[in-house]
Amino acid sequence: MAKKSSLKLIPIGGLSGIGKNMMVLEKENQIIIIDCGLMFPDEETPGIDFLIPDFSYIKKNKEKVKAIILTHGHEDHIGALPFLFKEITAPVYATKLTLGLARIKFNGNMEDDAFPYHVIDTEERLDIGPFNIEFFRVNHSIPDGVGLIIRTDIGTVIHSGDFKFDHMPIDNVHTQFSRITRAGSEGVLALLCDSTNAEEEGYTLPERDVGKTLMEKFDIAPRRIIIATFSSHIHRIQQIMDVAKKYKKKVAISGKSILKTIRISSDLGYLNIPEDTIIPISRIEDFPLKDIVILCTGSQGEPLSALNRMALGEHRRVGIMKGDMVIISASPIPGNEKTISNTINMLLRQGAEVFYESIAGVHVSGHAAREEIKMMINLVNPKYFIPIHGEDKHKTQNAQVAVSVGVDEDHIINAQNGDIIKMNMNMCRISGNISPRTIYVDGIGMGNIEDIVLKDRKILSRNGIIFIAVVIDSKGKRLLYYPEFVLKGIIFIENFNNIIQEANNIIRKAVDFCFEKNMLESGIIENLLKDRMEKFIFKKAGIKPIISIKVLIDI
């Protein structure tokens, strides 16, 4: 009898923060990948568009990759696919809506033969090498989400996907509890469980509760209503459309991403737009203000989003008016709290009435709270429990939930990105780490930006930069001209002229010192001047700007 090989799980992303979700399952030299998402930047990554997983391990083992399986269509699960397909090509399996949203990520730059895809039939199992995969539908904040039951010869692994238990879903598609329960009764080796909302007690509220709140707000709105939400939150968009129709209002849409999502989800039958409800944004002035609803992007305070441009007074079509009701129907992604707060403050200063998650019930989560996680664990009854999708604090809380319902603490694997989780019928442990790097996408560039680059960007944003040009006569061993100072992004400095005069004297003495020591190379002189200027500016002004010095030597 052939020896059964162990199973390796390698989280490439998703276990050290919110986003970049990507899990590798490897057995018998064959790999399947679950999800391939991106992560949005925070204030610690200035100038970065987003972050993606490090595909080095995938590239190294690309011949082993047999399939990419997507659990649902959110950016943190599908957004990095175009970058992965620059490195490898493999069949993609997903439900109809998820595939539709994934394909528009390529902006028409991928032909079907370069993006081989298969629509998942949740009524059928999928055999890929040593993996037999069954799907179960889950509730989330986007339709067509699935979890995976992955059977192998050493046992079954369940991947929850992003889930919550909503007993009154907007699309009337319920979680397939029977499949989860059946797998649990057969025996489950490991459960990989969503941790995003594990800090929250009780149950996550149903999506329909937001619809009730929206009706209340529509009922009291004196003038125009502006609603910002995630572009992929199709259930939320559906409720906005339905409430607008009930109140006989017209909906105008602002934001490319939300327009794309509405088009594809409507074409595929996942969004039912009431007749005569949507109007072009160019026609909003043709209707009374009280009849207009503007649905837009910007729920995370993104700098180029429609809502932020409205708040800044830079939107081409919409200027905020006194009496506008603005509803931000989303929760902040960790790291975005300050940018959202800034947007809210700007809207309030312009006279808008603003409703957001912490003061009004205009958003509910798409992720399971503690009682739902307990229910998932009890249905599955896993031997091992692996928290996924979250920061350390979320995974720790998820682990505590598992212990509270009887999972052996020694059987909980609290892993990080890159950990190699090795398991067989009698063992599950972390055996190493592939050391994934942080990969940034910055404009059209992509790569591992060194810490020094991000450090420089932070310094530039906080303390500015000083350019100093110095021209030296090497024969006469003297400065030809007074040094020229150019300051950018520097706040007001008291006694500025006196400080510049002192700086000139320091530069002159430093240049004399270089000539005395016969140090005549421009690079050596620049380094010495930079060191002395950094110490001087900090001593006099208490700031640490970037200092760039150029020494020109007249021979």
Which residue numbers are catalytic? 194, 367
Residues 6+ apart with CB under 8 A from 323: 222, 223, 224, 351, 352, 353
Residue 286 gets which letter from DSSP?
A: G
Q: Which residue is listed with tokens 């560039």? A: 445
Task: List the alpha helices (DSSP H) in 268-336.
Answer: 306-312
State residue 313 phi and psi, 5-degree precision: 75, 25
Cα distances (angstroms) measured from residue 230 to each of 39, 105, 246, 328 = 14, 16, 22, 10
CB contact burial 155-172 (16+ within 10 A = b; e otherwise): bbbbbbbbbbbbeebbee
Helix (H) / strand (E) containing 385? strand 382-388
State residue 119 phi and psi, 5-degree precision: -80, 125
Which residue spans within 153-269 are E strands per DSSP? Answer: 155-159, 188-194, 225-228, 250-254
Strand partners, 151: 132, 156
Q: Cα-atom radius of gyration of the chain, to the nearest Å? A: 28
CB-based contact 55:45 (threshold 8 Å): no
DSSP calls for 395-435: HHHHHHHHHHTT--GGGB----TTEEEEEETTEEEEEEE--
- Distance between terminal CA atoms of the chain? 83
Distance of CA 455 to the CA centre of its chain: 21
CB-based contact 70:133 (threshold 8 Å): no
- CA nearest 505: which of 525, 523, 482, 487? 482
Residue 215 gets which letter from DSSP?
A: H
Strand partners, 432: 420
Amino acid at 133: I
| Cα gap 291→249, rounded to integer Å | 5
| Cα gap 343→340, rounded to integer Å | 5
| Cα gap 149→177, rounded to integer Å | 12
Q: For helices 370-380 and 392-404, give the axis angle rounded to 10 degrees.
A: 60
CB-based contact 385:187 (threshold 8 Å): no
Task: List the alpha helices (DSSP H) in 271-333.
Answer: 306-312
Which tokens hold the place of 82? 């175009």
327 burial type by CB count under 10 A (0-12 exposed, 13-18 middle, 19+ buried): buried
| Cα gap 329→332, rounded to integer Å | 10
